[in-house]
Chains A and B, each alone.
Chain A
């Protein structure tokens, strides 16, 4: 045969083979492919302090208790528990016969080991802060375990959602190996993890709660939002989480896809430094807020389906609901008045004529950068000198900690209890008090709410905190509550967003499956 013809033929055959392989390669019917925005760094639930890790962990591990509907705590491995009268001791009764993926039976020893591992300072777990009130853990019998706290803590049960790890296996293989090849008692087992490429999970056929309807779950990290959107269209993935606003719009009107959203992605907000002039001056804050239409008018445009206007710091799904009160307290947009106030501030010598407001925002999030840019424009229109300082998060965090930032924009998300949202941001010595806010009354309310187990008392205390800090002092100015959004093709059934730290494939309420 002619040599040229032969090679042309060979190449054609090769190309046809390559291009058509995809058409015939069909995945198993009940295989769900999810696109993530980042790769997982570790699958050890004792170190799951990064959101993507937490989400994948929720599929492999189960906790003593679980998040149920509306993020209420419902029984998990522990079917029942008692709280002592002084609210300092919690006794959990475990379901019998629950097996880890390797067939070992889950007992109270594993629970004790799981939490002591997090508590051990040498291990450096980022979760330690959430459980440091644990004084000691006692194993009563194989299926009963008692946690004794150093002081009462109303949000303690949330920390009981951490995944339980098998003591023998962890001790045998060591922490590093465990973080790569984890074994839990959750609905899915790890089959394969190729870093930065995919995580493959298969259904745990002996799962105690129910039989998972999905046989496999593949998680693929796709950092670029537009590529995630294209993967969804081409069928490379079934579900995309956290697409950008621009991509979302294209899917909303497409009948082949479902877009489901729920509150729970956290809050975006401005904060003023309470120790730096003139940012600590009430009149300055009012002038600043009067000059900014951002919050009511611009934010909805920027966030679109991704967020709703925020008045409170805690999400709308969480109590106490102070939105109406805080809305009334909000300074209304009034550029004329802002101009007058600004002049007064200058006349009174509170700010110099050439004073410039630098608004700091991390570069990682487009939406927040856009909000700050819009704000800067309107501040300038009202006569302020203003600049947006878009910085890499690490660098900004350093400046923030050093107290060098007067006004900043950040985002925050945490577990569904106001304690987690308010204590650290508003307590004088709170670890996230980046405004350096100090108020004895607020401190007192926060402490009282933390140690009380009476719902009405806690509600009252947190209401007080919100009204004082946001309504009166305006230390932080909430902008938007972010929605968690899943975009998926029409075959995905029973999947609902709503909790940023889990992927609810198999939960007390849901059992996701694919319909053809």
Chain B
């Protein structure tokens, strides 16, 4: 197991090098050069040249790649737009993103899995129909819209929660007050997909022979569901959550925009629109790293859920 983890961790290096090459290639293909986009129509040719010189944008392509990689690894990569190191910006935003992502994940898991299980156990009941209708709604309504509606109800109408912005660390009341609305709206999609998946997965498992056996030997229904069915039903659910986590961390752009949340998704979009190559490079690499790491984490989690899976 330990050896497997080390091996997987080492694999991250070639993966990231691959990502960096593809990324660099794409950045070369995007029309629009950083200097003229950033400095805008007001800039003189002289200012454009100076900026290109300063960030090495006039050097041959292979030198540019080498400089990007070298500076990224040593932590000296500097953002063209912000004029400070890329890593300091990313770390700053990463905190907000992870806080938001984890909070929505917790909300989603705490709500969705019980809903899914109850819906499966009480199949065709009112609860089943109602919760699955909500789930369909959750999947179909864009996060953007959910967010605006939540703001309208909780901030504008009842004035209970702040409508946007980052309130600081989650150790403070302000921090929590600010995170509730964005986290709930971001979790809506995850709640929907997870509860539906839990339900269908549970339904499949409940048909299995070993469940019938468990019931036949006179186990209490509670134990049958919680111990025998639940664990096995969780494998596809966890895979789904794992995949969605990447969305929570990197793709929460709409939620971040609506709630003016200073996260990394918005940063990435801003970096691309400013053609801030170093920042795009750094942000996407860090996001890819997070994604690979999350996948590894999920793979390891399987071992604890399903004894049939082992990596030796």
- Contacts A196-B266, A392-B273, A410-B41 given; indicate if A126 touches B159 (C-beta within 8 A): no
Indicate whether A126 sits within 8 Å of B160 (C-beta atoms), given known contacts A18-B173, A194-B166, A392-B273: no
CA distance A228 to B47 in the complex (A): 34
Q: Which residue of A lies closest to B167 (CB)?
A: A197
Q: How far is the CA of A223 from the CA of B168 in the complex (A)?
A: 19
> A222 contacts B54, CB within 8 Å?
no
B260 contacts the other chain (CB 8 A): yes
Q: Which one of A42, A126, A396 lies within 8 Å of B82 (CB-CB)?
A: A42
Contact with B along A216-244 (1 / 0, CB 8 A): 00001111101100110111100000000
Instruction: Given A18-B173, A392-B32, A397-B32, answer yes or no on A230-B163 (Cβ-Cβ < 8 Å).
Output: yes
A448 close to chain B: CB less than 8 A = no
Q: Report the separation of the CA atoms of residues A18 and B172 in the bound assembly, to the nearest whole angstrom.
A: 10
Is B46 interfacial (CB 8 A cutoff)?
A: yes
Select one of A121, A194, A226 contacting B50, CB under 8 A: A121
Q: In A8-54, which residues have CB < 8 Å from any B CB? A: 17-19, 21-23, 25, 41-42, 47, 49-50
| A-B contacts, CB under 8 A, total | 157
Considering the chains assembled together, what is the distance between the CA atoms of A47 and B207 in angstroms? 68
B133 CB within 8 Å of chain A: no
Measured CB to CB, the closest approach of chain B to A51, in angstroms, equals 9
Binary per-residue interface labels of chain A (50-66) against chain B in the complex, 1 for a CB within 8 Å, 0 otherwise = 10000000000000000
* Residues A394 and B275 in contact, CB atoms below 8 Å apart: yes
A401 within 8 A of B: yes
The answer to whether A236 and B92 have CB atoms under 8 Å apart is no
Give residues of chain B (74-90) contacting chain A, Cβ–Cβ below 8 Å: 81-84, 89
Q: Mark each residue of chain B from 153 to 174: 1 if its CB lies under 8 Å from any CB of chain A, else 0.
A: 0011001111111101000011
Contacts of B174 in A (CB 8 A): 21, 25
Any chain A CB within 8 A of the CB of B222? no
A189-228 interface code vs B (CB 8 A; 1 in, 0 out): 0000011111000000000000000000000111110110
Contacting A at CB under 8 A, from B10-50, are 30-33, 36-37, 39-47, 50
Is there an interface contact between A17 and B47, defined as CB atoms closer than 8 Å? no
Are the CB atoms of A49 and B273 closer together than 8 Å?
Answer: no
Using known A-B contacts A18-B177, A195-B262, A233-B156, determine if residue A126 contacts B39 with beta carbons closer than 8 Å. Answer: yes
Residues of B in contact with A (beta carbons under 8 Å apart): 30-33, 36-37, 39-47, 50-51, 53-54, 81-84, 89, 92-93, 148, 151-152, 155-156, 159-166, 168, 173-174, 176-177, 180, 257-260, 262, 266-267, 273, 275
**B-binding residues in A (CB < 8 A):** 17-19, 21-23, 25, 41-42, 47, 49-50, 121-126, 128-129, 132, 175-176, 179-180, 194-198, 220-224, 226-227, 230-231, 233-236, 392-399, 401, 410, 412, 414, 431-432
A-B pairs with lowest CB-CB distance, top 7:
A394-B32, A196-B262, A129-B44, A124-B50, A394-B37, A395-B31, A234-B155
